[in-house]
Amino acid sequence: PVYLDYNATTPVDPRVLETMLPWFTEQFGNAASRTHLYGWTAEEAVATARKQLAKLVHVTPKEVVFTSGATEANNLAIKGVFEKKSHVGKHIITVATEHKAVLDTCHHLEQLGAEITYLVPAADGLITPQQVAEVLRSDTILVSVMYANNEIGVIQPIRDIAEVAHQAGALFHTDATQAVGKLPIDMPLEGIDLLSLSAHKLYGPKGIGALIVRSGVEIASQMDGGGHERGRRSGTLNVPGIVGLGKACEIAQKEMKSETARLAELRNHLESEILSKVPDTFVNGTTPHRLSHLTNICFENVDGENLLLSLRDVAVSTGSACTSASVLPSYVLKILGLTDDQAYASLRMSLGRFTTEEEITFAIHHIVEVVEKMRG
């Protein structure tokens, strides 16, 4: 089938794989081994990757903390700040449409005495800096707002929200898993204190990611042990994974601009063809402020489960892969005001580096045909 689910995960770019391979075999050293060449070589490779990642988001290498992915990075950021700052305040602000890795971390902290405000976005998926300002308190320690939504691609006004958070003395964290490598991100300029990312969303391997922690921002480690990553995340470094993440960042930085333009054109074609050829359809989320490689379309009066089952030749999703073990309608779409039926009948189509024009032509044809057939 034609793969249109790049927001769930991406294939490893062959250039990334090639860079990773030696670090499994000939160069197998432990980056923490300080007594021989095997260790030094691995440490050097990690240092290079750290620089490649740091450069992509405009920070210094020592601000990078490698983790197993964005789920761990979100846990480390939110729990790490809470543990460090709960003597100052226990209030955290986040958004109801965040990924579960943020929401469930917040729910966990509620059991430990945290007070969480879950902001509800407007029907277009956006929240405003004013909304944040209205709920900020003197005991707010952290504001956590995702950069771009995984289901609808909505890009939040990060810079303005960070500014409002800082004015009230709170730290600002963003889950930028869907934005890193897709949008230009400048952490110092945008006032981001903590940023989560994951390699497998940008053509790197699964099981590796990072939390970027700006200098001066203190977090309590959630993994204790050998004191790796300057004491912020213990555990032997995943050298091949880290090398892959670094290379993926380097490629993304070089190709982001042209790739964004190419995908926007394909996405716009896919979207406008479906909207014009299939009646009773609409796009979920704002269209001016969203990722250029994604569209989320609701097909009204169509049975969602049947729709997915009938779409055998295109790989798309409803909602996020991370929660699809449960066949519930997308909570993100429901928060935007969709009914259960509308949410079930919404398809997220996300394009990526290996998507071709032919694939998009095929997908349009297939989707239009399937929906027409279902509606009789």
CA distances from residue 288 to 122, 201, 297, 326, 348 in whole angstroms, order as listed: 14, 22, 15, 31, 17
For ligand PLP, the closer CB: 175 or 271:
175
For ligand PLP, the closer CB: 149 or 281:
149
User: Hey, what are 87's tokens?
Assistant: 């003597």
Q: Could you give the CA distance from residue 327 to residue 165 in angstroms, rounded to a whole number? A: 36
How many other C-beta atoms are found inside a 10 Å radius of the C-beta of residue 124? Answer: 16
For ligand PLP, the closer CB: 93 or 95:
95
| Minimum separation from the CB atom of position 240 to ligand PLP (A) | 16
46, 242 Cβ separation under 8 angstroms: yes
For ligand PLP, the closer CB: 101 or 165:
101
User: Hey, what are 357's tokens?
Assistant: 């024009």
89, 65 Cβ separation under 8 angstroms: no
| Minimum separation from the CB atom of position 220 to ligand PLP (A) | 20
Q: DSSP for 244-279?
A: HHHHHHHHHHHHHHHHHHHHHHHHHHHHHHHHHHSS
256, 203 Cβ separation under 8 angstroms: no
For ligand PLP, the closer CB: 198 or 318:
198
Residue-level length of the chain: 376
Name the amino acid, one letter, at 370: V
| Minimum separation from the CB atom of position 196 to ligand PLP (A) | 7
Helix, strand, coil proportions of the chain in percent (round to 5)?
45, 15, 40
Map tokens 């359809």 to a residue.
281
For ligand PLP, the closer CB: 42 or 95:
95
| Minimum separation from the CB atom of position 206 to ligand PLP (A) | 7
Residue 367 β-bridge partners: none
- What sections of 202-238 are H helices per DSSP? none
| Minimum separation from the CB atom of position 279 to ligand PLP (A) | 31
Binding site for ligand PLP (CB under 6 A): 69-71, 99, 101, 146, 150, 175, 177-178, 198, 209, 322
Tell me 98's DSSP state: S
| Minimum separation from the CB atom of position 178 to ligand PLP (A) | 5
| Minimum separation from the CB atom of position 20 to ligand PLP (A) | 17
Name the amino acid, one letter, at 135: V
Residue nearest to ligand PLP (CB): 69
For ligand PLP, the closer CB: 178 or 296:
178
Task: List active site positions.
Answer: 322
Q: Could you give the CA distance from residue 78 to residue 55 in angstroms, rounded to a whole number? A: 24
Map tokens 């793969």 to a residue.
3
